[in-house]
Amino acid sequence: MAQMTISLLFLFLTIVGFLGSVESRSRARTYLEAQCHPTLYNDLCVRTLLPYATKNDLPSPQRIAQITLTTCLTKARFTKAYVDMIAKELNKTKNIGEYQATEGCLRQINNGVSQITQSVRELQKMGTDGEEKFAWHESNVQSWVSAALTDATTCMDGLLEDEIGSKTKSMIKARFLNVKELASNSLALFNRFTARHRASRTVKNP
């Protein structure tokens, strides 16, 4: 009897813990869906942010911008490594046409990694070195993320005309598409953060 009571108590606590976890994830998802509303790729936005949100720790707009930019940078680096590997393999096989086409995408993603890296560093400085520099940092991040977005789009558009094998082309395109969508979401969320920051400053200093 005592053993059964302990088992039932354990089962009850497990169910309560599970329901609490579900409630926490549900609240976090609702919050993130609202934050992700301005983005073009809402589902991707929520999936990117959900691991960083709990019921008692919902990320601020600035933190959200940092998470999405950092995630975009990670994906861009993985894409760079993949395209670099493909380019080296094509170079070994002396497949000049496919190598040149892949090398073009490699240049684009190299640029993208550099631009997003600068954006992450710039965002980290915002609010730490004086409000008078906020707009300058904002402009830099917007310019660099927009450039990275353009680079990803340029590679994808170029792949439509290049004579790369269909499987290789599909793999490269899928990776660039992911970077493009993450960059687009990052830019939208960054703009949301800066707009809210500016609005809060207006309220404090009418």
Cβ neighbours around 110 below 10 Å, total: 15
Q: Which of 39-48, 126-135, 144-153 has the lowest mean pLDDT?
A: 126-135
Mean pLDDT of the 65-90 span: 94
- Answer CATH for 3-204 from 3.20.20.70, 1.10.3720.10, 1.20.120.530, 1.20.140.40: 1.20.140.40
- Look at residue 20 and tell me whether its pLDDT is greater than 70: no
Q: Is it the case that residue 116 has pLDDT exceeding 90?
A: yes
Q: Is the pTM of this model over 0.85?
A: no
Mean pLDDT of 40-58: 91
